[in-house]
Structure 1
């Protein structure tokens, strides 16, 4: 999705914050603004945006209220929401993600971080648009179905970190562990991961190189990668997101936040699958109908 075609909705009760966000995201000229939750809902229904940046703490209708209303609307449920808030509180972040938010960014805003996270969310939506475009052109696509218990490929090279990740995610899916890029690629080809968690950055394993190697695999092109950064490093975060990572979580992290973020991405994968399968089914029906009409009119191409 090009920056010129993406429609953003910026929501904050503080006009100066909206102005700052708008300037940071000036590469996206199609921006709409709302200073209340009620106005945001009206604007979203009037012209569905591609992405919403939403303040959590607003008088009257809070961001959480807005998120709940939007996610209950079938025509808007697919729109990714990034919470933008001054509350760096794990409990609130978990609540936002469980309501269906795609991301949670804290103030004061850092331009590079905000831009990278906006690009990451728009990239996810572009997958659906690409499938629809291909189907319109007659190129029907197949798409995998996430199993009831998703496969999580965890790439880590630190024993204590591996143990923490195992405890945190053991109920989220079937866990597969790899310590190197080669082992990760072998397991990925064998088990078709729903999500890849990359927690490695040592002298022996460069996380960026592993991320690039995974994204170079055609079969893994759309598998979300969650990169765990070795420290709160905005440059590293931006690099990982621009390489194609779906999310970046910095150490030290709260287990409950990691679990919520991973579950949120898995839920997004399932929603996208449902959208894509519906698109493919629609175009298959259209093609079948067209063929039947052609046969009745004696215009069968064969």
Structure 2
């Protein structure tokens, strides 16, 4: 999705914060603004955005209240929401993710971080748009089905981190551990991972090289990759997101936050899967030159 075509909705009760976010995201000229949850919902219903940046703590309808309303609207549920808040509280972050938020960024805002996380969310929406365009053009597309119990491929060579991830994620899915690039590729082809987790850099592996190797495989191209990175390393976070990572989780991490973020990635993967399968099924049964197809193009939320 190009910056010129992306529609952003920036929501904060503080006009100065909106101005700061708008300037940081000036590469996206199509921006709308709201200073309350009620106004944000009205604007979103009038013209669904591609991404919403939402303050958590607003008078009246809070960001959490607004998020719940937006996610309950069939026409807006697919729109990713990034919470932007001054509350660096793991419990609130977990609550936001459980409500359906795609990300949670804390103030004071860092321009490079905000831009990278916005690009990452817009990239996810572009996957669905690309599938729709391919199907409309008559190109045959398929999409894998996420198993009832997701496969989590964790690439890590530190024993203490492996043990922590095992305890934290054992109820989220079936865990597969790899200590090297070669083992990671072998397991990825054997078990079709739903999500891949890896460190940006460990003593024996370069996480960026491993990610590039995974993304080069057609069957793994769209598998979400989640990096674990030191909290202070904004450069590594930006590089990971720009290379195609679905998320970057700062370490040392809280177990509840890791679990909530991975579950959010899985839920997003399932939503994309449902959207893509619906698109594929539709274009398999409708003549692209028919009036019904033309009407669909006018009505489709993409």
TM, length-normalised to structure 2: 0.94
1:224-235 aligned within 5 A: 224-235=224-235
Aligned to 2:253: 253
Alignment of 1:245-284 (within 5 A): 245-284=245-284
Runs of 4+ aligned structure 1 residues displaced above 4 Å come to: none
- The residue aligned with 1:26 is 26
CA drift at 1:287: 3.8
Q: Distance in 2 between matches of 1:24 and 1:137?
A: 36
Q: For the Cα contact (< 8 Å) 2:136–2:288, is it kept in 1? A: no
Instruction: Specify the SS of the correspondent of 1:249.
Output: strand
Give deviations 1:38-67, integer Å, cap 9, x for gaps: 000000000000000000000000000000
* CA contact 1:152–1:195 (8 Å) conserved in 2: yes
Indicate if the aligned counterparts of 1:199 and 1:207 stay in contact, CA closer than 8 A: yes
Contact 2:200 2:236 in 1 (8 A): no
Determine the C-alpha separation between the residues in 2 that align with 1:67 and 1:123.
21
Residue 97 of structure 1 and its aligned partner are, at CA, apart by: 0.1
RMSD: 1.2
Q: Partners in 2 of 1:92 and 1:288 — Cα distance?
A: 46
Aligned length: 290
Residue 211 of structure 1: how far off its partner (Å):
1.5
Report the Cα offset of residue 230 of structure 1: 3.4
CA drift of 1:236 comes to: 0.5
Shift of 1:209: 1.3
Q: Deviations over 1:106-129 (max 9, x none)?
A: 000000000000000000000000
Give me the whole-angstrom Cα distance separating, in 1, the residues matched to 2:231 and 2:72.
36
SS at match of 1:105: strand
SS at match of 1:152: strand
TM-score of the two chains, using structure 1 as the length reference: 0.94
Q: Distance in 2 between matches of 1:9 and 1:287?
A: 35
CA deviation after TM superposition for structure 1 residue 140, in Å: 2.7
- Which range moved further: 128-137 or 211-220? 211-220
Partner of 1:236: 236
Unmatched segments (≥5 aa) in structure 2: 291-302
Matched, 1:170 2:170: yes
